[in-house]
Amino acid sequence: MNPPAIGTDPRLRAALRRLDLKIVHRLDGLLHGEHLGLRLGPGSETAEARLYQPGEDDVRHMDWAVTARTDVPHVRDMVADRELESWTLLDLSPSMDFGTGARSKHEVAVGAMVAANLLTQRVGDRFGAHFLHRGTIRRWPARSGKEALLSLLATVAAAPTGDVYEPDPDRATLADALTDLARTRRRRGLRVVVSDFLDTPAFGGEVAWERPLRQLSSRHQVLVVEVLDPRELDLPEVGDVPLRDPRTGRVRDVRLTRTVRRRYQEAAAAQREAVSGALRRCGVHHMQLRTDRDWVLDIARFVLHQRRTAHHLARHTPGTPR
C-alpha cells in the first residue's frame, strides 16, 4: 500500500483536506490540547500532591498550599516531559467496505483515525499506523505534522478495496494484528484500534482477539472504536434476498420473514454484547460509531463524557487536593 504522490493529485489532496478541516472545525477545543506524560519524572507539568516521605522526597518539591490546608507535609510530583507516540490499528477487512447509511464503515473508520491523531497533532507528537488489509499486516512509520497526516490518509485511499476470496490458512486476523502491534511498538503511548469486530462469536466461544488486546492495554492507554452499520443489527422484512458474506464470498438466498428477522436481531445483539463484554474485561475505552449517525458529533460527546468522568473521579477521590 504505497501512497500516491499527493502533490500530483489535486483532487485527492483537496478531498483529504476537506476531511481534515471538517474534523478540525467541529472538534477544535475538544480533541486538541496539551497532554501529560505517562510516567513521573523531571519535568514542568505538576501531578498529584501526596504525603511527604522524610529522607526520600526533595523538600524543594514541597506543596506549601496543600500543607497549609491539611497541616500535614505534602509534596507534588512532576510529570516528565516526554514525546507521546500514538499508533492506530485500522481494520481494512472486506466487511469494512459495507455501508447502508450516508457513508460506509470504511469512511467512518478513516475519520475516527484522523480524529484520534488530532489528539496529539498540535503538540508535535508522532503518530503511526498498522493496517489489517486482505489478510496481511502492513505498517506505516510514525511521523508528525500535517503533511504526515495527509500522507497517511493517502496511503489508506490507495489501498485496493473490493472482495478477494482466496482461502489461505495463513491469513492474518485481528488477533494477529493486535499481537503484532503489541510486539513491535513497545514504547508507552496511546493505541487506537478501529474495527467492526464481526469475527466475534455471537453465542459463546473464545473471543480470539481478547487476550492480545488485554496484553496491549496492560502497557498502553487503549481506545477501541467499534464501527457499525444499522443493517448489521436489523434487517427489513422484504421477502427473498441474496445475502453475501464479504469475507468468504459465499452467497445464500434467504427469505426475510418475521421469524428470521427476530433470530437475526437476537444473534446480532448477542454478538454486540460479546464484543462489549470482552472490551470491559480488557479495561479499554470503548467508543461506538455508526454509519447512519453523525460520527463527528458522537466523537465529541464521547470526549466530553470521558473528561467529565475523569473530573468527577478526581473530585471524589479521597486524599485528592481540591
Alpha-carbon distance 274 to 172, whole Å? 22
pLDDT digits (tens, 9 = 90+) for 29-88: 544 444 444 444 444 445 567 888 887 777 888 889 889 988 999 887 665 445 678 899
> Residue 48's pLDDT is what?
65
Q: What is the pLDDT of residue 124?
A: 63
Indicate the number of domains in the chain.
2
C-alpha distances (whole Å) from 296 to each of 42, 100, 145, 193 are 37, 18, 21, 17
Residue 192 confidence class, pLDDT cut points 50, 70, 90: very high
* Per-residue confidence (pLDDT) for residue 25, from 0 to 100: 62
Q: How confident is the model at residue 26 (pLDDT cuts 50, 70, 90)?
A: low
- Asked if 225 and 142 touch (Cβ cutoff 8 Å), the reply is no
146 and 47 fall within a common domain: no
| Shared-domain flag, residues 220 and 233 | yes
State the burial class of residue 298 (Cβ atoms within 10 Å of its Cβ: 0-12, 13-18, 19+).
Answer: middle
Indicate which CATH number applies to the domain containing 236: 3.40.50.410
Q: Are residues 52 and 92 in the same domain?
A: no
**Same domain as 70, residue 216:** no
Q: Which domain holds residue 172?
A: 6-30+86-313
- Nearest partner of 22 among 307, 222, 300, judged by Cα: 300
Q: For the whole model, what pTM was predicted?
A: 0.76
Please give the share of the chain, as a percent, with pLDDT higher than 90.
35
- Look at residue 202 in the predicted model and tell me its pLDDT: 84
Task: Tell me, yes or no, whether 56 lies in a domain.
Answer: yes
Residues 231 and 272 in one domain: yes
Q: Is residue 237 part of a domain?
A: yes
For residue 306, the model assigns a pLDDT of 75
As a whole number of angstroms, the distance between CA 115 and CA 111 comes to: 6
- DSSP for 210-252? HHHHHHHHTTSEEEEEEEE-GGGT-----EEEEEE-TTT--EE
Q: Is residue 322 part of a domain?
A: no
- Higher per-residue confidence, 192 vs 248: 192
pLDDT beyond 50 at 101: yes
SS3 label, residue 60: helix
**Domain contains 319:** no
- 56 and 122 co-located in one domain: no
- The residue ranking higher by pLDDT, 25 or 294, is 294
Q: Is the per-residue pLDDT at 246 higher than 80?
A: no
**Residue whose C-alpha is closest to residue 144's, from 209, 219, 86:** 86
One domain for residues 110 and 186: yes
CA dihedral 293, 28, 129, 15 (to 10 degrees): 70
Is residue 38 assigned to a domain?
no
pLDDT in tens, 113-128: 988 887 666 556 889 9
pLDDT band at 90 (very low <50, low <70, confident <90, very high): very high
Q: What is the pLDDT of residue 254?
A: 87
Residue 183 and residue 246 in one domain: yes
**Per-residue pLDDT at 22:** 64
State whether 170 and 308 are in the same domain.
Answer: yes
Residue 65 sits in the same domain as residue 214 = no
Q: What is the largest CA-CA distance in the chain?
A: 78
> Is there a single domain that holds both residue 62 and residue 202?
no
pLDDT tier for residue 170 given thresholds of 50, 70 and 90: confident
pLDDT-derived band of residue 178, with 50, 70 and 90 as boundaries? very high
Residues 188, 228 within the same domain: yes
Domain presence at residue 94: yes
Cell 513521573 belongs to: 40
